Structure 1
């Protein structure tokens, strides 16, 4: 709306229209208001319904037709005696070329000055609406892509946990252990958590801690005296939030690669909750186990941390010949 009035022919800046006494200014103020309405119509209707429907040729054809319409309506109201397609202000030449004084558009405001203003505002409106719409569409597609990636990562993690936990109960059943029933109850708690909470964006921290505790107890039941588990939770876990299943992979990885039933193994799991942060320390001795591949759970969790906590987590992994340890600091404030 301000562009046609910002730079005037007399070198001034922001020459506002005289809507009370000047009919010409009223006409073009009305036309520029129509251009503003067209900007909204283009942004909310033409671009999503036609341009993004892969009908670009039809879209630009409509844009040209609307431009001709605005040029026609500006000429019709301001100079009805003129042809709106005549961009000049020269008389028709005959056998000789007459001397023609330059037209004074500063007073009349006729073509081509007002044409250039109308075309300028129109093109800026079309281009800017296209840029805004394309940028918003790209952001929406990027957000949907991220959500799809996170859903895919969760879909990979959940069966991974179920597979390992069923193997644990299978081992107890083979031994005909009296702890098999307790392990089934613990498994039901794990599955209830996954079914009820795993698809949420965030959950209360105490639910995640309870899930981890059930998992650790199930592993201790399965492994018995072959592993020493130093599991400790400190701090207030209530009134805080976290993404579900974001910690368990580091703990599960320690049991997967740090335990050999034929050897004495040690696993340390410390969770310290401060005001807004949670500090997780998981370490285990390296042993020769039946499962030496890294698996997908740990890598997926690292990717989820990158997506969900880009500026609010600190992950350090220390991998040497004897031990493997993970230190994670993550923001858990709701």
Structure 2
């Protein structure tokens, strides 16, 4: 809602600035002069022309460009643009004349009643102008053509640039969404495979905790199915998901692993991209646990204002692989796509330990 209001406010400010642009620099030795719309016919005409040009800018941006320019009907588009240019040149020169001033709503227009000529008697046209003019001129001075054409072409070019830039941004967003969807499609089956292996191990041992593990898995999968496709979710939901995952791993591993897990800070009102933290935690359980000896895993999540810090460390075991799993690699790619310049990731890989420190903005 705030973003929409800000956008509308920007449009209103820019429109007002455009409408009053002709009066920013006047010949009255002042920087700005309000238009005299009631008493000055010339001001009325120019205000009308600028208002019409402004309407055409939005008409061109929202209708002509999508309908013709982006539909490969450029010849029709350019023909329409040229037609409108001729129309604006006509109204800017023809209407700026006392005899054709339909915008004069005074009753009667006494000022021009007995003087229908182009110039008032107080300000006769320069002799050179009358002699050198090669055509029957009924409007404003010839520079009016150039002025109207310049403003019109600036509006057309700027609307084209805005539309093309917006289209490129939309294509880029769709590309990012497609890449994220592909990465999530890889992460979810990967996680499910590992978790099912964990429950299978419990079932082989006929452990009484197997039913609880199945319930925990169902909650995890419900979360993945309902929330993983969202752009952002409440941080509280993501933390609950991590809690369930760690509980499931503790159930599976029993006393063979010591897990030091803690969450500090306030999660209320914070948002985060779903499944962006779990791969680092999952990686510790996958590569840092040895069933033949006691393993140690340390996980801490600290939230301070709009900053979340995740720290994960595990001792390496003899079974640890030299390369990270697909889930971890994909999460690193997702961080680059979703949190550009909004995260810091440091990975310390030594012969004895594997340590991850991740900081993300969760405003």
TM-score, length of structure 2 as denominator length: 0.73
Runs of 5+ in structure 2 lacking a partner?
1-18, 98-129
2:334 aligned residue (290, 301, 304): 304
Partner residue, 1:34:
52
1:314 paired with 2:344, answer: yes
Which digits, 9 at most, give the CA deviation of each residue in 1:114-160, with x for residues without a partner? 21122112211211211222222233333333333333332222222
| Mapped pair 1:161 → 2:179 | no
Residue 52, structure 1, aligned to residue 64, structure 2: no
User: Are 2:158 and 1:140 equivalent residues in the alignment?
Assistant: no
Q: Select 1:251's aligned residue among 257, 281, 288.
A: 281
Give the conservation status (yes or no) of the 8 Å contact 1:260–1:287.
yes
Deviation at 1:162, TM superposition (A): 0.8
Which stretch has the larger CA shift, 107-116 or 248-257? 107-116
Per the alignment, residue 114 of structure 2 pairs with none
Question: In the alignment, is the contact (CA less than 8 A) between 1:4 and 1:121 conserved in 2?
Answer: no
| Counterpart residue number, 1:88 | none
Q: Is the 8 A contact 2:96 2:139 kept in 1?
A: no
1:204 to 234, 243, 258: 234
Q: Which runs of 5+ in 1 are unaligned?
A: 80-99
Taking structure 1 as the reference length, the TM-score comes to: 0.78
Do residues 186 (structure 1) and 216 (structure 2) align?
Answer: yes
Q: 2:356: which partner in 1?
A: 326
- Farther off after superposition, 12-21 or 307-316: 12-21
Deviation larger for 54-63 or 291-300: 291-300
CA gap 1:63/1:163 in 2 versus in 1, 3 angstroms:
same
The answer on 1:126 being equivalent to 2:156 is yes
Of 148, 152, 170, 2:200 maps to 170
**CA offset at residue 12 of structure 1?**
10
The match for 1:220 is: 250
Q: Which one is further off, 239-248 or 107-116?
A: 107-116
Cα distance between partner residues in 2 of 1:168 and 1:121: 70
Tell me, in whole angstroms, the C-alpha distance in 2 between the residues paired with 1:102 and 1:15. Answer: 33
Instruction: Supply the distance in 1 between the matched residues of 2:87 and 2:270 (Cα, whole angstroms).
Output: 60
**Matches of 1:289 and 1:305, distance apart in 2:** 28
RMSD, aligned CA:
3.4
Return the match for 1:69 from 69, 87, 90.
87
Residues 4, 250 of structure 1: CA spacing in aligned structure 2 closer, same or farther, 3 A cutoff?
same
Query: Hey, what's the Cα distance between the residues in 1 that align with 2:43 and 2:143?
Result: 13
Count of residue pairs the alignment pairs up: 312
Tell me how far apart the structure 1 counterparts of residues 56 and 277 of structure 2 sit (CA, whole Å).
Answer: 52
